[in-house]
Amino acid sequence: MASRSSNTADSSSKVLAKLLKAVDEETIRAYKARHIASAIWRAAPDHFAISNAHRWVQLEPFLDFVEKKGSTAETQNTKTQSSTP
Rounded alpha-carbon distances, angstroms, from residue 59 to 1, 18, 19, 24, 73: 25, 11, 9, 16, 21
The one-character DSSP state at 2 is -
**What's the confidence (pLDDT) of residue 1?**
45
CA atoms of 57 and 50, how far apart (whole Å): 10
Of 58 and 76, the structure prediction assigns the larger pLDDT to 58
Q: pLDDT (tens digit, 9 = 90+) per residue, 3-39? A: 555 666 678 889 999 999 999 999 999 999 999 999 9
